[in-house]
Amino acid sequence: ALELKLTPALILLRSTLDQLQEKDAAQIFSQPVNLAEVPDYLEFISKPMDLSSMRAKLEAHAYCSTTDLEGDFNLMVSNCLRYNSKETAFHRAALHLREVGGAVLRHAHRQAQSIG
């Protein structure tokens, strides 16, 4: 029902995910790593994660809090830091997203406290 979609908690989660998506301007993290194009990916990464998967989980009510959302964000960033070696653009993009996304999440945690 619409009223369940528009609870303050879901609205905050959606807004937080939208802000994280905006920080990924190059859309490196917007879709799952393509396993057909990157056949060895699962040799290094046991739990792939990306922003589209996070959005699907959010709409399936898989996240109870901004902390849950942060868990998948951190997984997504750490996967990228592990698979892509330090001198790559992807590795540097993950370091940057960790910084700017961390600020987004800290603000979201504070807002979650105020809505109770």
Ligand X SMILES: CC(=O)c1c[nH]c2ccccc12
Q: How far is the CB of 83 from ligand X (least distance, A)?
A: 5
Q: Is 51 exposed, middle or buried (0-12, 13-18, 19+ CB in 10 A)?
A: buried
Yes or no: say if 55 and 17 are a contact pair by the CB < 8 Å rule: yes
Query: Given the rule CB under 6 A, which residues bind ligand X?
Result: 28-29, 33, 38, 80, 83-84, 90
- Work out how close the CB of 87 gets to ligand X at its nearest, in angstroms, rounded to a whole number: 14
For residue 24, what is the DSSP state?
A: -
CB of 61 to ligand X, least distance (A): 26
- Residue with Cβ nearer ligand X (9 or 41): 41
Nearest to ligand X of 35, 103 (CB atom): 35
Nearest by Cα to 94 from 84, 104, 103: 84
